[in-house]
Amino acid sequence: MKHKILIAGIALVSLFTSCSEDYLDAPAKSTLDESVIFSSPGLAEGAIDGIKIPFAETNSYRGRFLPFYGLNTDVEWYNSSQTVSDASDLCTYDAQKNNSQMNTTNNAWAMMYSGIERANIAIRGLRTYGNPTPGSQLGYLLGEALTLRAIYYADLIKAWGDVPARFEPVNNATLYVEKSSRDIIYKQLLADLAEASTLVPWPGESTATSTVERINKAFVKGFRARLAMAASGYQQYPDGIRRSTDPELSVGNMYALALAESRSVIASGKAHLESSFETFWKNYNQEKINAGGESLWELPFADGRGRMLFTFAVRHTTEDQFHSNGPNRGGSAGPLPTVFYDYDQADTRRDVTCVPYKYGTAVNNIAKQELGALNTWYFGKYRYEWMTRFVTSDNDDGVNKIYMRYAEVLLIAAEAANELEGPAAAAPYLKEIRRRAFPTAVQTEKVENYVNGLSSKEAMFNALVDENKYEFTGEMERKQALIRWNLLKVKLDEAKVKMRQLADRTGDYSDVPATLYYKYQADNVSLNIYGLNRGETTNPGADWTQFAWTWTGAATETKISTLYKPGVNPDNRQFWPIWQVFLDGSNGKLTNDYGY
């Protein structure tokens, strides 16, 4: 059963209630004494559940952070990037501090700090009153609180760079604080996660870790590895794009940490890739949440909360046989048009990830698949049609957000091993990823020969950049990866060139057909499509309908040019500005950098 973060912990929510919605306000006095709550496992668990409530608030992760952060990259974009709006500005690297989507007191920034404050109170209470030792329930809860706080901070840094560091509950003396260097925050998070990994069991080793909606050791270690890579990577600081100058966050130190943590997860046998890429994503949409497989931790939404399919699913024009979630659901973002054609045709991830059709207007509640346009694709990882629960809410679907999966652990291990030990050490991890992606009949060529041919560190690194693309398109992890590789603008500019080539059928896309052919399968809902693969240009017969697969005219250039807004350098806009409402409420302590 899905864990309901909207109602869990409500009995103790007064512990975390503030005098106003502004995160800077000091919390009201608890109606239950901390010494009672945090010495009792049952009450303490309710308090830890309360840390999760801000994830699902209206303008928090649910409706603002998840729908917009991570777009646009060289593989993903907001499908309305060419439309002038505050929503598109968030994606096209031109968000302003008064952005109407974000400039509210209950926005993601405020909710993240609300979650941090709840975590700070819980961590203090457990340390002071709970005797949280490894193997105890209170010890687990401390590990969970430390990790949840790290999640909020990791996402704050991802979106805003340097932010205020608050690792103790707010008091009158700390009501207003300035931003701290993210290096300080990264070091605290890495230390916190090291402690948390000693306190939480592996997946399936306790009741708490039986589902991916609770924190487990495999996730903590994998997440720590991810943060180590980010902390040592390139990123925009107030004085320019560079790596950290803190010796503790050097590439040598951080890659060694990431390699050790990822290898620990791999060696544990407590997580694994699912049998096929499609099986994994079907299980996800069917809300199978047992721990010990590929998903390491998911942001847990209640059935009537959360908007992963509402936002990112294959587009459904109306309510139909698959959902009653409202009209025009899904499809707000999708793969760049080139991505489908960049995959190897034999790669089983391609057709799961990139979908060229939508569901049209339902007739007698039955909708059919309809071809859309070359410039508008959908993420096939998110599908109402794969759900087993019929969504009836008008605004939410309740499907969880996958925060990290085992495939990322393997690719982190490969990248760190390549840097520290060379391509031969990275090869086994890359082979495992590709072995799942390709049918057995072609694995000698596509897995063994391909990976064995990556004989230099540079060749292996470039292959891993590509493999991340093929594995994670549609999961909005690419932006942070491109930033830490110092490839953001480079890859965005490459993507613009490639899209022009696709539109003109030149360069790498000269053999992409300009005509598709389709007919309906026996269910009279699903399409058979011919002509999507390179070189499929022969008319398959009179029973197929032709469909122009072109992208021409002024609209082509307009959409391509707004991958990032003209006149903007995305390398100088790696972060969003702090929104005006929080600047105004900071007593002059907060300011924007990066030219905002």
CATH of the domain at 45: 1.25.40.890
Task: Identify the domain boundary among 168, 200, 232.
Answer: 200
So what's the pLDDT on residue 555? 83
Q: 377 in a domain, yes or no?
A: no
Residue 25 banded pLDDT, cuts 50, 70, 90: very low
DSSP state of 311: H
Whole-angstrom distance, CA of residue 457 vs CA of residue 436:
23
Which of 15-29, 260-274, 426-440 is the least confident region? 15-29
Residue 17 banded pLDDT, cuts 50, 70, 90: very low
Whole-angstrom distance, CA of residue 570 vs CA of residue 483:
10
Taking 70 as the threshold, does the pLDDT of residue 91 lie above it?
A: yes
**Cα end-to-end distance, the chain, whole Å:** 45
> 331: left (phi > 0), else alpha (psi -120 to 50), else beta?
left
Distances (CA, A) of 575 to 106, 473, 516: 20, 20, 40
Query: Alpha helix locations (H) across 5-136?
Result: 34-37, 41-52, 66-68, 86-91, 108-129
Average pLDDT, integer, range 246-261? 98
Average pLDDT, integer, range 539-567? 94
Taking 70 as the threshold, does the pLDDT of residue 568 lie above it?
A: yes
Regarding whether 17 and 145 lie in a shared domain, the answer is: yes
Regarding whether 237 and 196 lie in a shared domain, the answer is: no
575 or 2, which is more confident: 575
Residue 435 banded pLDDT, cuts 50, 70, 90: very high
Look at residue 545 and give its three-state secondary structure.
strand
Residue 582: partners with Cβ closer than 8 Å, 6 or more residues away = 109, 110, 590
Q: 371 in a domain, yes or no?
A: no
Joined tokens for residue 135: 């193997």
So what's the pLDDT on residue 7? 35
So what's the pLDDT on residue 32? 67
Rounded to the nearest integer, the mean pLDDT of the chain is 94
Regarding whether 54 and 31 lie in a shared domain, the answer is: yes
Regarding whether 172 and 56 lie in a shared domain, the answer is: yes
Q: Cβ–Cβ contacts within 10 Å for residue 546, how many?
A: 11
- Give the number of domains in the chain: 2
Q: 593 in a domain, yes or no?
A: no
Q: Burial-class residue 470 by CB neighbours within 10 Å (0-12, 13-18, 19+).
A: buried
Task: Identify the domain boundary among 467, 485, 503.
Answer: 485
Regarding whether 195 and 54 lie in a shared domain, the answer is: yes
Task: Identify the domain boundary among 144, 170, 200.
Answer: 200
In percent, the amount of the chain with pLDDT more than 70 equals: 95
Regarding whether 162 and 54 lie in a shared domain, the answer is: yes
Residues 401 and 213 sit within 8 Å (Cβ to Cβ): no
Regarding whether 182 and 285 lie in a shared domain, the answer is: no
Q: 473 in a domain, yes or no?
A: yes
Average pLDDT, integer, range 4-24? 40
So what's the pLDDT on residue 230? 98
Residue 2 banded pLDDT, cuts 50, 70, 90: low
Residue 19 banded pLDDT, cuts 50, 70, 90: very low
Taking 70 as the threshold, does the pLDDT of residue 28 lie above it?
A: no
So what's the pLDDT on residue 554? 83
pLDDT in tens, 370-384: 999 999 999 999 999
Distances (CA, A) of 313 to 331, 477, 498, 525: 6, 17, 25, 17
Taking 60 as the threshold, does the pLDDT of residue 173 lie above it?
A: yes
User: Which phi and psi (to 5°) does residue 299 adopt?
Assistant: -70, 115
30 or 40, which is more confident: 40
Residue 8 banded pLDDT, cuts 50, 70, 90: very low
Domain at 477, CATH number: 1.25.40.900
Regarding whether 175 and 114 lie in a shared domain, the answer is: yes
Residues 416 and 431 sit within 8 Å (Cβ to Cβ): no
Q: Cβ–Cβ contacts within 10 Å for residue 212, how many?
A: 30
Q: Burial-class residue 219 by CB neighbours within 10 Å (0-12, 13-18, 19+).
A: buried
DSSP state of 250: -
Residue 39 banded pLDDT, cuts 50, 70, 90: very high
Cα dihedral sign for 433, 438, 444, 449?
negative
Average pLDDT, integer, range 129-145? 97
**Quick one: which H or E segment has residue 528?**
strand 527-530
Regarding whether 177 and 227 lie in a shared domain, the answer is: no
Regarding whether 248 and 150 lie in a shared domain, the answer is: no
Q: 32 in a domain, yes or no?
A: yes
Regarding whether 466 and 444 lie in a shared domain, the answer is: yes
Residue 288 domain boundaries: 204-300+400-485
Q: 589 in a domain, yes or no?
A: no
Q: What is the CA radius of gyration of the chain?
A: 24
pTM listed for this prediction: 0.95
Residue 552 banded pLDDT, cuts 50, 70, 90: confident
Residue 21 banded pLDDT, cuts 50, 70, 90: very low
Q: 133 in a domain, yes or no?
A: yes
Regarding whether 133 and 252 lie in a shared domain, the answer is: no
Average pLDDT, integer, range 238-265? 98
Average pLDDT, integer, range 338-345? 98
pLDDT in tens, 107-133: 999 999 999 999 999 999 999 999 999
User: Which phi and psi (to 5°) does residue 324 adopt?
Assistant: -130, 50
Residue 35: partners with Cβ closer than 8 Å, 6 or more residues away = 125, 128, 129
So what's the pLDDT on residue 27? 39
